[in-house]
Structure 1
Amino acid sequence: MQTSPIRAAVFVSSVFALYISAAMLIPAAVDIYYGNADWQVFAFCAMTTGGLGLIVAAATRSRPPIQSTRFAFLLVALLWVTLGLVGAIPFYAASLKLNIADSVFESVSAITTTGSTTIAGLDNVAPGLLLWRSLLQWIGGLGVIALGLFLLPFLNVGGFSYFQIESSDIDERPFERFSTFMVALLGIYASLTVLCAIAYAAAGMSSFDAVNHAMTTLATGGFSTHDASFGYFEGQAVLWIGTIFMLVGAIPFSILILLAVRGRLDALRDPQIRVFLGYVAAFALTVAIYRRVTADIPFGEALAHSAFNFVSIITTTGFASEDYSLWGPYAVVAAFFATFLGGCSGSTAGGIKAYRFYILAKMLANGLRQLIHPHVVQSIRYGSRTVDADMQRSVVLFMTAFMLAWVASTMALAAGGLDFVTASTAALTAITNVGPGLGDLVGPAGNFVPLDNYAKWILSFMMLLGRLEIVAVLVLLMPSFWRN
């Protein structure tokens, strides 16, 4: 008898819960090294969650189900919910005394690489908890890559899959074995993290800060070990290092693997990379010029901070070197619109993503041409390959769902008492997985601590919704999904 998809999804999720519980031993060891009593919390949480995960895995293990899109949708949602709940346990049990809403919010923000936080006074938080936040984001970033490259393309909601990379031979399969690709992915992700940590340390960060910020930079997550984020560090070197590695994290990792393993420079011709780098350069340069003219700041300094903060917003990282909401009206408006953009498909970045803007622009141009020449049929192309009707439908479906979800969540937050700027930007930054919004409460100089539990539960759901490309979650709410 074939296994139930729900049972199979629970089994896979419980196995991943075992991995997360094992990862809790790392911050436990760090707390032992620094002489902090929270190591007992991590050790206890590792044993209890690991034991519970083992029991559930043993109880649900059976023959694999028939592979289907219905099973994949269910697995994706349940997996991310499980990781968010398991990751929240140390936050709830540790010395911070966070409530359940705060703990789940912090964990979901970490694994979705959003970067919003409900913890104030980070400079005084135990090192194990700081490392746990960073480690969850690093693990979440790796999971996001796998999600974007394999699962969501299979479901027609997450963009181009790994074997749809733009190349001279569109039918070529660069890696015949999946295991070869995964080893290369893990190797490059870990190597870039180590390289980033070394660069941060060379620029003046302590070893602990360098490791934490390297993990959250490559994951484009944005968690910092200090309330002031990158404003805590002196000099422009750390800003440029962060800018470079955030950009790397927002590039398709399939492209990075082709470059590293096969030396495929032609992979850089992927149109979404040009679109992504184009709007990054446009925002960074125009805001730098604006600050040079209006605030009489040296252009080099203005460019360093503008590039860092806008790359952080666009790549949905969430670091901040200054409170850019004080830079003037143009900078604030630019930051608002930059929040929508995002990086590339198959990267750790969130947002709408560059390839969707590219396809939408092509669809618009094609539609205008057909108004002029109604009888001319022209295909929409992504580089050298044709964008089929399914992909066009997927882009339009995502954009429609995105706008509806943003409006609905903004209204829900406003119903809870938040003002328009706070409600709209908090909802936007959650669904795009950026981190900071605008305003005094959730802006780059604030955090999400003052929000009530009602708002935090809504935003936790929106972070998951945005990370799973919205449609992958909304489909579970359809009655037809559960029939038969």
Structure 2
Amino acid sequence: MAAAMLLPALVDLAEDNEDWRVFALSSFLIGAVGALVGAASRGEPMRFNARLGFLLVTTVWVVTVLAGALPLYFSSAGLSIAGAVFESTSGLTTTGASVISSLDLLPPGLLLWRSLLNWIGGIGIVVMAIMILPQLRIGGLALFQMEGSDKADKVLPRARQLAAGLAAAYGALTVLCAATYAALGMSVFDAVNHAMATISTGGFSTHDASLGYFHDDRILVAATLFMILGALPFVIYVRAFTGSRSQRRRDPQIAVFLVLCLVLSLALAVSRRLIEGVPFGEALITSSFGLVSLLSTTGFVSDDYTRWSEAAVGLFFIALFLGGCAGSTAGGIKANRLVVLYKLVDASFRRLVRPHAVIRLRYGESEIQPQAVQAVTIFFFLYFGVLLIGTVVLGVLGLDLLTAFSGTLTSLSNVGPGFGPVIGPAGDFSSLTDAQLWVLTAIMLLGRLEIVTVVILFLPSIWMR
């Protein structure tokens, strides 16, 4: 984080903007604290256990959020403490919701820092989802760990090699995306910023109108493609780059996610053609961009889709829940949990017809263990529980039902835009009170950390020996 802060400092210094001092000082402070902690923790390593793992994951994310908020608070953006922490949380959790309403007037250093928060958070999410959470028996890929095979989703023999492979794939996709945007007419600055926000499925833009600012269907098509790539499991890219022939089994969640993107996009395009009379080609481009943006939990917008037909709004509402694939930068419920849920429902119905049959649940070539089914069930219970509680709390704090519900949902799924005139695709979160922002900040972290990681820390029994 300290090193990353030097980049916007250099950009602002080149543009003769005073915020360079804020980023330089923040970099020094954060770097000094990191160096002191590193020096103090040298020596005999601590014995790792699950309880320490849960505490470590949550603490690292909270501390990183606070570090990211430091330059935002002291910058010329004029944010409150709640606003700065909200913006930092939104960036690092790749949610993409913003309390800044005049992006086109911001200095370049602040715009770059917001994009860097997206990018840093994206690679952090991938590493956490693939290498850390499965070891704690939670998260999207814990399904494979439940089988008792610790190498089920490792395509390289050592964790350090896997992390390097993930970083290489993440960086290569970002460079390719930036080059594509630049070739399609974006400035280099806009291309780099939007590439970081696209591959991380973060959704921060350098313009208030998001990608609608460019009025170019080619950019929307390119963004749609790269948002899909960002929402796929990054392990498949490591396999592709290393040429590994091991673990070539098919991952059902990839097909489910791609089918959802295709079917919902076609359904929306047809509805726009029939109901609104939009030419099918234009309808297909804008529909696929809008739906993939929400399904991948990126949150880019090109138009106010709440002004489209009621059928369109309904499809976008469904997309807010679903999310991308486990092991990607996307949030939401995630496709692999939908696969497990479908298998569970299908098996339950078959048992009604054949009560004595022995029915084994399978995820691709793997057998789904009872612990994995239990983990998915608990996640759904907690997900909708947080959605209900968050809506009620925000309603008590003064938000109308639509804003409270969609704000909770978009924060929990780490999507970005909600519904309604306040936080919809044409609005932002700048009009919300500090209390409302704190609630949504907590919900964003809950959604990003798979809920269980945080909730388990508040159970007294966990801390009793």
1:426 has 2:407 as partner: yes
1:411 has 2:392 as partner: yes
Give the alignment partner of residue 234 of structure 1, picking from 210, 215, 232.
215
1:357 has 2:344 as partner: no
Between stretches 65-74 and 107-116, larger displacement belongs to 65-74
Give the alignment partner of residue 192 of structure 1, picking from 158, 173, 189.
173
Shift of 1:366: 0.2
CA contact (8 A) 2:155 2:238 kept: no
Distance 1:68 1:127 in 2: 43
Q: Give the alignment's TM-score, normalised by structure 2.
A: 0.96
> Equivalent residue for 1:70?
51
1:344 has 2:320 as partner: no
Structure 1 residues 173, 213: closer, same or farther in 2, change over 3 A?
closer
Q: What SS is found at the alignment partner of 1:444?
A: coil
What one-letter code is carried by the residue in structure 2 that aligns with 1:221?
G
Moved over 6 A (4+): 162-166
CA contact (8 A) 2:143 2:372 kept: no
Give the alignment partner of residue 474 of structure 1, picking from 452, 455, 461.
455
Give the alignment partner of residue 55 of structure 1, picking from 29, 33, 36.
36
Distance 1:57 1:265 in 2: 37
Shift of 1:178: 2.3
CA contact (8 A) 2:153 2:247 kept: no
Structure 1 residues 326, 55: closer, same or farther in 2, change over 3 A?
same
Q: What SS is found at the alignment partner of 1:376?
A: coil
Give the alignment partner of residue 374 of structure 1, picking from 340, 343, 355.
355
Give the alignment partner of residue 213 of structure 1, picking from 180, 185, 194.
194
Distance 2:185 2:117 in 1: 25
Shift of 1:267: 4.1
1:256 has 2:237 as partner: yes
1:438 has 2:419 as partner: yes
* Deviations 1:414-455, CA, capped at 9 Å, x for gaps: 001111110000000000000000000010000000010111
Shift of 1:384: 1.1
Shift of 1:62: 4.5
CA contact (8 A) 1:148 1:158 kept: yes
Between stretches 268-277 and 135-144, larger displacement belongs to 268-277
Shift of 1:380: 0.2
> Equivalent residue for 1:322?
303
In the TM superposition, what are the counterparts of 1:22-421 in structure 2 within 5 Å?
Answer: 22-160=3-141, 174-262=155-243, 267=248, 269-421=250-402
Between stretches 218-227 and 185-194, larger displacement belongs to 185-194
Q: What number of residue pairs does the alignment pair up?
A: 462
What one-letter code is carried by the residue in structure 2 that aligns with 1:79?
V
Distance 2:191 2:172 in 1: 14
* Deviations 1:253-306, CA, capped at 9 Å, x for gaps: 001111222165984721000111111111111111111111111111111111
Shift of 1:177: 2.4
Q: Give the alignment's TM-score, normalised by structure 1.
A: 0.92
Q: What SS is found at the alignment partner of 2:45?
A: coil
Between stretches 29-38 and 355-364, larger displacement belongs to 29-38
Distance 1:307 1:426 in 2: 23
What one-letter code is carried by the residue in structure 1 that aligns with 2:384?
M
Structure 1: segments with no counterpart, 5+ residues: 1-19
What one-letter code is carried by the residue in structure 2 that aligns with 1:244?
L
What one-letter code is carried by the residue in structure 2 that aligns with 1:481?
I
Q: What SS is found at the alignment partner of 1:368?
A: helix
* Deviations 1:398-425, CA, capped at 9 Å, x for gaps: 0000010110000000001111110000
Distance 2:153 2:56 in 1: 29
Distance 1:416 1:60 in 2: 42
Distance 1:346 1:94 in 2: 34
